[in-house]
Amino acid sequence: MDQAFPETADIETSSDDYATRFAGAVGAWMLEVQERIVLDFLRDAPGATVLDVGGGHGQLARPLCRAGFRVTVLGSAASCRKRIADIADGGACAFRVGNVIDLPFGEGSFDRVIAFRMLTHCTRWPELVRELCRTARSAVIVDYPTSQSVNRLAPFLFKAKKGLEGNTRTWRLFRHEEVCGAFRDRGFVLRRRRAQFLLPMVLHRVFKSRRLSAGLEALCRRAGLTARWGSPVVAEFVPEGR
């Protein structure tokens, strides 16, 4: 039976229903963009231990395992193991059930700690940040959508997004300063930040063309628009003074 923890955003993001948002060629391309950024951020830590908090969706656990990282996925319920059962059963990664705002690991238990699809859906997100920082020895990597982007139009696009995806939840947009502030409170500072897309992801799903989406985003990136106005972002935080 699923645990009744206070924050369980990853139960939905680890579901088969949620995975349909990334089905098809466009969905695969969006995940590839995310994967490339994370692997680049981890390039200086080959073979590191990685805690993937809320990573039952497998979006990063799979590529990280293929790249030789020693991955542990933390899920809020046993059901969060379903989509990564093959790599967990095969010993490529470990899976643990636990409370995302009270992680069942000691201080500095992992070289790197990551959390994707979590901050935006976690009501008590500063507590999540606290736990990510507490269990990380060297760095924390997260993603979040920012209001300092084209996503400021999100409230106007929500109805269209809901109609297209059918299973869309409400989500929180962040200002970069408030995320950096939460990490700073835990002794971590921003090392680097990279935006994934300029155009809202729902528009890429409407286009239904990997070639068109990739081409448009390449143009935006080369023009410097993505770095300035893109979302969601992938951000890496490290202990202050390192």
pLDDT digits (tens, 9 = 90+) for 171-180: 789 999 999 9
61 found inside a domain: yes
135 found inside a domain: yes
Secondary structure in 3-state letters for 123-178: CCHHHHHHHHHHHEEEEEEEEECECCCHHHHHHHHHHHHHHHHCCCCCCCCECHHH
How far, in Å, CA of 31 to CA of 22, rounded?
Answer: 7
Determine whether 227 is exposed, middle or buried from the number of CB atoms within 10 Å of its CB (0-12, 13-18, 19+).
middle
Lowest model confidence (mean pLDDT) among 201-205, 210-214, 228-232: 201-205
How far, in Å, CA of 142 to CA of 235, rounded?
Answer: 6
How far, in Å, CA of 57 to CA of 12, rounded?
Answer: 9
207 found inside a domain: no
154 found inside a domain: no
CATH number of the domain to which 23 belongs? 3.40.50.150
Q: Which domain holds residue 115?
A: 9-146+171-193
228 found inside a domain: no
Q: Read off the amino acid at residue 108.
A: G
How many domains would you assign to the chain?
A: 1
188 found inside a domain: yes
Average pLDDT, the chain: 92
134 found inside a domain: yes
Can you read off the two tokens belonging to residue 148? 């300092």
Q: How high is the pLDDT of residue 149?
A: 83
Which tops the pLDDT comparison, 153 or 207?
207
Determine whether 235 is exposed, middle or buried from the number of CB atoms within 10 Å of its CB (0-12, 13-18, 19+).
buried
pLDDT digits (tens, 9 = 90+) for 118-177: 999 999 999 999 999 999 999 999 999 998 887 666 555 555 555 555 555 567 899 999
155 found inside a domain: no
The DSSP bridge partners found for residue 106 are: none
